[in-house]
Structure 1
Amino acid sequence: MSRHPRARQQRGRSRVGERFEVEVGPVAHGGHCVARVPTSTAPDAPLRVVFVRHVVPGERVVLEVTEGTDGDRFWRADAVEVLEPSPERVEPPCPFAGPGLCGGCDFQHVSVDHQRALKTAVVREQLSRLAGIESDVEVEAVAGDLPEQLAGLRWRTRMQYVDLGDGRRGMRKHRSRAAVEIDDCRIAHPDAREPEPGSVEETVAVGGAEHRFAVATDGFWQVHPGAPATLVATVLEMLEVQPGETVLDLYSGVGLFARFLADEVGPAGRVVSVEGDRTASLHARTNLAGAPGRVETACGDVATVLGSAYDEPFDLVVLDPPREGAKRAVIDAVVDRAPRRIAYVACDPAALGRDLSLLAEHGYRLSALRAFDLFPMTHHVECVALVEKTGR
């Protein structure tokens, strides 16, 4: 549940282990907040940006540098002592959350409502900085199927642990291969599955329609139980699909959006599902069998597929790219199809901001945006953006 740092050359003297007393600044994308520390004891010493975990904006803390040298543009750190706590600070519900412990959760120490406020600030800042868009979007709670989810716990339906041997299991530390032994992950759903060969069936109901989806046990599927229905309902509402329309569903996975879109366009419509993962694409073919209208599946890199096929106009496009976003080749190919509306499902607000900026170059503008707290206790947030052609 945590990412590992890339190996890099040392740039001067290491500052790892050094401690500084700081006042914590604003939240930043990535599960940390910004602070600044002097690079030396000289009165006019320049300040170095430090990304600090386990803090809340406005607190006064003692941080300890965990990554950084004299030559780095910024350092990373953990708060090892809280001198003046925020009113939004709470006791982490998980005993494995904190400096040097499990790296899976970023905000266990923050009240759930304020976690959403922090994520809201990040989404707004990323869109402003990367796309020049000033948004009043608010991160929304998503209903789950357990009362504990009101407190941000027991929502994750898929888990991957580190096997520590002798029946023990653990989770990775933040930006590390090292693991912390745990007895229970507090965000894990009671029925959470671990990756293994095979497939399972997931059921999603939206409005009056209900469909079953075959999904690889180790393949992609939204991990919050309320996510699939929430995202489908939002996409359908934004697109305002009309019977007989043509829809291009890109990065379509096992066909979640495509199946409900096929219901909307009906027998006279057409839906094309494009997915790069072969197993997911095969499942999509099964899941879309029997859907009304012309429903087609294509397996391959999205940019490559669009470079040689489906170059006719489409009324609507759904984009649900991986964390790095769709990028220019796919964005250019999408606008070449001249859709009237694009629904962009984004798991990273920075990637969304970059791609919205690319779409704006072609005269497509953001006209609606919603953000959902599908990953409580972490910094992750899911956005659904509606983009429409408005001219240059």
Structure 2
Amino acid sequence: MTENWLGRTLELEIGPVAHGGHCVSRVDGRVVFVRHGLPGERVRAEVTEDKGGAFCRADAVEVLTGSEHRVEPPCPLAAPGGCGGCDWQHADPAYQRSLKAAVVAEQLQRLAGISREVVVEALDDHGPLGWRSRVRLVAGRDGRAGLRAHHSHRVVPLDDCPIAVKGSLDSVLAKRWRPGSEIEVTSDGDGHQHVREVSTVHGRNKSRQLSGGDAVQHAADRDWRFDAHGFWQVHPAAADTFAQVVAEWAEAPRGGVAWDLYAGVGLFASVLAEQVGPEGRVLAVESGRRAVADGERNLADLPQVSWRAGRVEHVVADAPRPVDVVVLDPPRKGAGREVVDAIVAGSPDRIIYVACDPAALARDVATFASHGYSLSDLRAFDAFPMTHHVECIALLQ
């Protein structure tokens, strides 16, 4: 039986970065996933989780030999026992991107058998702070709004959040809320704040829109208006950058057929529609009915775009085909085999896959490969600075 190490302090040398915002070390034959450390450092780490078996989790509580890339975190809560929102505040921004690049490359190699050098690009010169335009807070027992600690339900109250859009949380953090309620804050492209409170009353969720409602964003040479708490890229520069990559890679022929899957409010559908022209067809598929309604309203000037609400694998079964190009932006878990099979049944020449999780991307790339599609290009973006998250766009042909 494996001895339980919970609470034990280990002196260890930190190894390579791993997917999930931690690095790997090994002690007495066990893997230790260490947060708040960097590769090559020697630290004292306190075990925070041990469920038995081959691995446990720990926080680096004292740095004995530090990395040249270590910096002072701009937020005092980005530390052991603090907020779980940021993973890499203790690393300089360029090194954060190199860590993320290593993770993407490792996932592609391990899960898809692809050896590829990866570079993670900064989205703009704005820097790693003040970018997060959407934040979901939770009220603690004292009514103060905060974020949860890593792998915990414990609420860490906030006085500020350096990665949030400057000033966007001021009024929310100054109030007291119903304990346990969630407060969703969105800062839109015109600088307006939209605040919604979601609380549980007698076992049922109840939401109140306290300010705003419809957000305004600007991307792909269009103005967008939609539910402020629906899906839109969190980094202010992300939507326009990703739309430009899709426009460059799609090469949808005039009069052709394209699919935009997991379409949201139609950002990529608008790009594809411009390429296929009035005589072409774009199918936009989205499971959220409010998003479909918003998409239809925003793209009313593009009659070549038709909308379907439903699960992707069900809708595309009778979609117009053959299809020239498919764009998909699935949720974090990825598309999965059923969706991949449905896509390749349409025999697209090009598939553009927008992914917020490198492991899910690698698994799906492997599934596409089993159908004869190879990864011909890849770009990765630091769309979530200070966290372990990274956005990738892959071109499959």
State the TM-score, normalized to the length of structure 1: 0.88
d(CA) in 2 for partners of 1:232, 1:350: 23
Q: 1:153 aligns with which of 112, 121, 129?
A: 129
The question of 1:34 aligning with 2:29 is answered no
Q: Kindly tell me the number of residue pairs found equivalent between the two proteins.
A: 359
Quick check: 2:102–2:118 contact (8 Å CA) kept in 1?
A: no
Out of 225-234 and 237-246, give the one that drifted further: 237-246
The question of 1:346 aligning with 2:352 is answered no
The question of 1:203 aligning with 2:227 is answered no
**Which segments of structure 1 move beyond 6 Å, counting only runs of 4 or more?**
none
The question of 1:255 aligning with 2:266 is answered yes
Q: 3-state SS of the aligned residue for 1:183?
A: coil
Q: 3-state SS of the aligned residue for 1:190?
A: coil
Measured after TM superposition, the shift of residue 290 of structure 1 is: 1.1
Q: 2:313 aligns with which of 303, 310, 320?
A: 303
Q: 3-state SS of the aligned residue for 1:229?
A: helix
Q: Deviations over 1:255-291 (max 9, x none)?
A: 1111121112111111000001121111111112111
Map of 2:177 onto structure 1: none
Measured after TM superposition, the shift of residue 119 of structure 1 is: 0.3
Q: 3-state SS of the aligned residue for 1:325?
A: coil
The question of 1:129 aligning with 2:110 is answered yes
Q: 3-state SS of the aligned residue for 1:34?
A: strand
d(CA) in 1 for partners of 2:320, 2:313: 12
What amino acid is the match of 1:164?
Answer: G
What amino acid is the match of 2:218?
Answer: V
Measured after TM superposition, the shift of residue 311 of structure 1 is: 5.4
d(CA) in 2 for partners of 1:15, 1:220: 41
Quick check: 2:251–2:275 contact (8 Å CA) kept in 1?
A: no
The question of 1:184 aligning with 2:160 is answered yes
The question of 1:169 aligning with 2:111 is answered no
Matches within 5 A, 1:196-275: 196=196, 197=209, 199-206=213-220, 210-275=221-286
Map of 1:19 onto structure 2: 9
Q: Deviations over 1:45-65 (max 9, x none)?
A: xx1001100000000001111
**RMSD over equivalenced CA pairs, Å:** 1.6
Cα separation, partners in 2 of 1:371 and 1:222, compared to 1, 3 Å: same
The question of 1:48 aligning with 2:58 is answered no
Q: Deviations over 1:81-108 (max 9, x none)?
A: 1000000000000111100000000000
Map of 1:4 onto structure 2: none
Map of 1:6 onto structure 2: none
Quick check: 2:257–2:320 contact (8 Å CA) kept in 1?
A: no
Q: 2:288 aligns with which of 265, 277, 295?
A: 277
Q: 3-state SS of the aligned residue for 1:350?
A: helix
d(CA) in 1 for partners of 2:343, 2:395: 14
The question of 1:317 aligning with 2:326 is answered yes
Structure 2 residue runs of 5 or longer lacking an equivalent are 169-184, 187-194, 197-208
Map of 2:50 onto structure 1: 68
Cα separation, partners in 2 of 1:165 and 1:17, compared to 1, 3 Å: closer
Quick check: 1:249–1:257 contact (8 Å CA) kept in 2?
A: yes
The question of 1:57 aligning with 2:71 is answered no
Q: 3-state SS of the aligned residue for 2:379?
A: strand
What amino acid is the match of 1:204?
Answer: H
d(CA) in 1 for partners of 2:68, 2:3: 37
